[in-house]
Amino acid sequence: GAGVSQSPSNKVTEKGKDVELRCDPISGHTALYWYRQSLGQGLEFLIYFQGNSAPDKSGLPSDRFSAERTGGSVSTLTIQRTQQEDSAVYLCASSFRSLRGPDNSPLHFGNGTRLTVT
């Protein structure tokens, strides 16, 4: 596709339910990131994938959060037993490459999934 696609765009769920958020990165982009943004706040790093592997899971808030990426493409972020504090916009971004060193490709963000836990 032309850009990063996220689905659903909005999700309302009851406390305690599980949710799955999907991200389709730009074709050919090897790096994929998940961020969380609460209302009026900054971007909180959750997890990063290079290919299918996740070298950095340090941002996942708790063991209720997990993510996977298959085929070096689509990624899903799963939140189990959702809590009200999980309500936020979940943003996915991809980039062409992610290498150590001074020059890094820019991130291309999707429109996000707005999650509301009631």
Partner 1 sequence: GQQVMQIPQYQHVQEGEDFTTYCNSSTTLSNIQWYKQRPGGHPVFLIQLVKSGEVKKQKRLTFQFGEAKKNSSLHITATQTTDVGTYFCAFMEYGNKLVFGAGTILRVKS
Which residues sit at the interface with partner 1, rule CB under 8 A?
31, 33, 35, 41-43, 45, 48, 50, 55-56, 58-59, 91, 93, 98-104, 106-112
The residue among 48 and 65 lying less far from partner 1, judged by its C-beta, is: 48
Distance CA 92, CA 12 (A): 19
Q: Which is nearer to partner 1, 72 or 80 (CB)?
A: 72
Residues composing the chain: 118
CB of 16 to partner 1, least distance (A): 29
CB of 58 or CB of 70, closer to partner 1: 58
In contact, 79 and 26? CB cutoff 8 Å: no
| Calpha distance 59→17 (Å, rounded) | 22
